Structure 1
């Protein structure tokens, strides 16, 4: 999602995110992903959007096969997506399962404060079968390429994510999906395995036949962002399971 970021938080931004069910409830479908991931049998298609996509034609997205979408809600504690309502509510009205994501800027404020801001401005959740758990987009710093880890130590980054997760869980009852790349995770968290058992993984890896090596602890991805453009608005994603499992994941059980 970082490719759409500009040096001004008020500018369009399209990062994105990943999820996890328990091993007992989510069937790993990595082998179903081929050199044309969007055609993978049994893998529901989805996408993620931000203000970069502006007003989205959701009925058209639905007709093209969209089953789920993540919508950017907030960034740090200073930015709200001005198209959020049209995108988030529009997806639901079109019959698309949707969720909200937050783009983290760990150098700006605490994980707790950013989580509170996120939940207060769209990052909620309810067990209605239409709402995906909140997602945390944490990746290379788009504003300062010399400091991809936002100036935090590996321990500091892990602690920031823990604080964000704890506050989201306290306010919504769900742990956030974590969207990241394997390279960033290894570099900036020391490849921490502290989150794999409780947090769904949304892995970003473009232009490849598969999702590749995953961060420590995760044995499968729940969402895979495999391209930054395609048939659906924004980034292209797959869910690692069936439609029935996607709905179950949204419900939280």
Structure 2
């Protein structure tokens, strides 16, 4: 298990976060409020999902459709025992590489090298902060710090993690049209840099609320959808099926638990472009 209580960063001063003391209202301090302390080490694919959408019954598929087991990890997991993960069924993995335009996962290259040596098909993802900088800037930061793609048969396409804002308003203060524009700019920049459109990680509820359920990405970007339940449920507009389903935030594998929608040869196929 990896769940820690997440500070309500927007309501705490930096001193309160550092000392654990109760937040003191700015008007009572006779000073200007200190900046919000960011916590990118606690932000990962799905870190906001259960808080906003909950868990619904038994996790994982109950049908007999062919699925391939995988996982996603971040700096939270540190050094991963890839041999143990394989023994427990892992066949692919996504690794958090970056966030915004300032953070890089300090364990990313170790996780990537370890998974590659173990023969686990893996890819990198970027945790988006659309209110801090443009889509192109974050895409370039991502590609420059691990978010590339090579046709080696073991690298999944880059992925964009776009979910509830861990620091404030769920949609980052952007209008639906502005959010669609931001995602499009990120996607197009990654495509121009790597030759692959990024997989989009999101939830149906977030996508509906924050993009107006935009249907314009299904033809180009594979879908990685999060829902902690026994069925994947309704998908965002534009996608007729999910490529990956994040069905639980803990389980037998490190990090979050995922199923690829198909047999292992389909995982190999998307890695090969």
Could you say which residue in structure 2 is the equivalent of 1:161?
A: 183
Higher relative contact order (CA 8 A, sep 6+): 1
Separation (CA, whole Å) in 2 of partners of 1:59 and 1:39: 28
Name the count of aligned residue pairs. 230
2:201 alignment partner, SS class: strand
Q: Name which one, 1 or 2, has greater alpha-carbon Rg.
A: 2
Q: CA deviation at 1:229?
A: 0.2
Check conservation: 2:202, 2:224, Cα contact below 8 A.
Answer: yes
Unaligned runs of 5+ in 2: 10-37, 47-57
1:112 to 111, 136, 145: 136
TM-score (norm. length: structure 2) = 0.81
- Change in 2 beyond 3 A, CA 1:95/1:166: same
Distance 2:186 2:265 in 1: 29
Residue 224 of structure 1: which of 236, 239, 245 is its match?
245
User: What residue number does 2:74 align with?
Assistant: 50
- State the TM-score, normalized to the length of structure 1: 0.87
- Considering only aligned residues, what root-mean-square deviation do their CA atoms show, in Å? 1.8
Contact 1:14 1:234 in 2 (8 A): no
Contact kept in structure 2, 1:44 and 1:243, CA below 8 Å: yes
Q: Quote how far apart the aligned CAs of 1:38 are.
A: 8.6
Shift of the alpha carbon at 1:211? 0.5
Q: Is the 8 Å Cα contact of residues 92 and 120 (structure 2) preserved in structure 1?
A: yes
Counterpart in the other structure of 2:263: 242
1:126 counterpart = 2:150 = yes
Is this contact kept in 2: 1:124–1:172, CA < 8 A? Answer: yes
